[in-house]
Amino acid sequence: MALKIRLARGGSKQRPFYRIVVAEADCPRDGRFVEKVGTYNPMLDKTNPIRVVLEAERIQYWLSVGALPTDRVARFLGEAKIIAVPAQKNSVQKAQPKKKAQERLKQEADRLQSIEDEKTKAAAAPLPEVPEAIPAEEITETAVHEAAPVAEEAPAPEEAPAESSEPAQEEKPSAEPETAEATPEA
């Protein structure tokens, strides 16, 4: 007869309430149990002291007889310091990304590593020799003129003829009628 300390669900829809019970391993979740040793109300705030209520003496007895707690109940018992806190189980397969995502992550890591390698090579490479700067004491006007190339002066652009401020005079038609016009004969 294998015994388990587990949760048995009660409460209504959307309002769970659990009893912590000692039951045979082959009994249904909400079925027959040997003894009720506590309660768990997930609807209450985590800081509420009656969220998890345990009968420590009875739990100690059933643990000594050989009852094994389920993962969730073991966490409750560990928080109550009845047993050692169990290690969190993490489903490795569910926690890892899929195959294509893992390949993309690996390619990105390789790309970043190659960039880092190039940076370290560039930092380790000797710097090109830079001509020594002239000390400020030795710089004189002649040295400045010798060092700086003189730009050739471009010829000044030719000025366009000045336009008069008067508007251009338009040709006025003469008072004489043009001869090209046809005149009616009387």
Asked if the model's pLDDT at residue 147 lies above 80, the reply is no
Token duo for residue 43: 């609807």
The average pLDDT across 121-126 equals 80
Asked if the model's pLDDT at residue 161 lies above 60, the reply is no
- Note the pLDDT tens digit of each residue in 85-101: 888 776 666 777 888 99
The average pLDDT across 2-31 equals 93
The three state secondary structure string of 129-148 is: CCCCCCCCCCCCHHHHHHHC
The whole model's pTM is what?
Answer: 0.49
The pLDDT value recorded for residue 181 is 56
- Note the pLDDT tens digit of each residue in 26-50: 999 888 999 999 999 999 999 999 9
- Note the pLDDT tens digit of each residue in 52-108: 999 999 999 999 999 999 999 999 999 999 988 888 776 666 777 888 999 999 999
* Terminal Cα distance for the chain, rounded: 145
For 3-79, CATH gives: 3.30.1320.10
Token duo for residue 139: 């710089």
The pLDDT value recorded for residue 121 is 85
The pLDDT value recorded for residue 98 is 85
pLDDT, averaged across the chain: 80
Over its C-alpha atoms, the chain yields an Rg (Å, rounded) of 49
- Tell me how far apart the alpha carbons of residues 89 and 125 are, in angstroms, rounded to a whole number: 49
The pLDDT value recorded for residue 95 is 72
The pLDDT value recorded for residue 1 is 67
